[in-house]
Structure formats: C-alpha cells, structure tokens
C-alpha cells in the first residue's frame, strides 16, 4: 500500500531530524546512511525514496538545524522581554549560547559549533544552506540592537555570532575544564561591552 503525501512528508521530516542529530554526534562524513535511517526507525533501503544523495540530506539537515538554532535564540530573547527582569534579549542570547549547558550538549544547539569545520568543506548547496542559516542567526541578534543603525547592528551581530560560535567550539575542544569555563566567561564579559 502506498503512503499518502502527508505520511511521506512526515517520514522525510523524521529522517532529516535524525540526520541532524546523528551528524552533530558523529560528524557529517563519519555518519553513514545506515545510522541515520536506524535513528529514524527505518531501514537504509528506503533512503533513496526520499533523497537523491547523502549530500542532499546533509544540506537539508543543515538547513533544519540552523533554522532550529535561529528559532531557539529568538525564543530566548522573546522570553526575556516577556519576563521583564531587566536583562536585555541580547544578553540573554549571549548568556544562553555561552553557557556550560550549550557547551556540554553536543547533540543539540547550534550546528555551526558542532559541524563548522566540516561544513566549510561541504558541497556548494550545503555551504549555501550554512550561509543562509548564519544570516538568520545574525538577523536575530541584530534585532536585539534596535537603537543602532541597521548597518552597524548587522556588523555587530556578525561579530557577536562569530565570537559565540568560536568560543563554544574552543570551550568544547580544550581538555582543561578551567580553561573551558574561562573561555565562555571571558567571551560573555567581552560581548557585554559590544
């Protein structure tokens, strides 16, 4: 019996969601299709009913992961505004992104942190998806600078996103726990002055 279009779309969404997580855990090129499909609760044989290639899946997983990251940081800023605790949305974004929880949760969070160096070597379609995702993150951060001219807000937001991604990447990489914590804390303090 054939699946409905809605069932097919849901299966594809499950595969992309599983791939997003598996790629963060093991890397783009260390993760095989068999692992992705098993994580989605499917057999490898069904993969090509949904995707032309692994590269296409990587591109879609990158897009989905970065869309989720942009939505998460926007929600952080929005929740802070609703709380009325005096903390601005930008500071909440920085504090949340540069937290030990984000550093330690390698399976969630921003794909630019967990996959950045691999994305730089990916095919053009995936790099374009990563570029779009980066721009979405920058846009969310720039919106937290409403009293700044748009060009300057964009410039500052690019710097902030790059600093946050780099800091979490380095904090994950180093083996010294005190250094890791220091990287996050010093970057948080520096970004509070931007």
Q: Per-residue pLDDT tens for 9-33?
A: 999 999 999 999 999 999 999 999 9
pTM of the model: 0.88
The answer to the question of residue 15 being in a domain is no
Q: For a pLDDT cut of 70, what percent of the chain falls above it? A: 95
Average pLDDT of the chain is 91
The answer as to whether 42 is a domain residue is no
**pLDDT surpassing 90 at residue 64:** yes
In a domain, 110, yes or no: yes
Whether 43 maps to a domain, the answer reads no
What CATH code is carried by the domain that includes residue 133? 1.10.357.10
Task: Report if residue 148 sits inside a domain.
Answer: yes
Supply the range of the domain harboring residue 134.
54-191
In a domain, 27, yes or no: no
Tell me the pLDDT tens digit for each residue of 165-191. 999 999 999 999 999 999 999 999 999
Count how many domains the chain has.
1
- Residue 105 resides in a domain: yes
**Inside any domain, residue 181:** yes
3-state secondary structure of 134: helix
């Amino acid at each position: 019996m054939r699946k409905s279009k809605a069932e097919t779309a849901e299966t594809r969404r499950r595969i992309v969601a599983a791939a997003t997580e598996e790629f963060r855990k093991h890397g783009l090129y260390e993760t095989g299709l068999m692992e992705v499909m098993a994580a989605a609760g499917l057999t490898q044989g069904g993969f090509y009913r949904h995707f032309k290639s692994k590269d296409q899946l990587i591109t879609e997983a990158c897009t989905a992961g970065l869309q989720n990251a942009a939505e998460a940081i926007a929600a952080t800023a929005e929740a802070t505004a609703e709380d009325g605790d005096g903390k601005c949305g930008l500071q909440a974004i920085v504090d949340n992104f540069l937290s030990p929880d984000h550093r330690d949760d390698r399976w969630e969070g921003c794909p630019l942190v967990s996959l950045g160096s691999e994305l730089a070597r990916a095919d053009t379609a995936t790099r374009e998806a990563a570029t779009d995702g980066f721009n979405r993150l920058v846009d969310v951060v720039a919106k937290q600078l409403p009293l700044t001219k748009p060009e300057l807000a964009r410039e500052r937001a690019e710097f902030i996103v790059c600093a946050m991604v780099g800091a979490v990447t380095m904090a994950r990489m180093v083996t010294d726990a005190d250094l890791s914590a220091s990287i996050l804390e010093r970057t948080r303090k520096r970004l509070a002055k931007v």
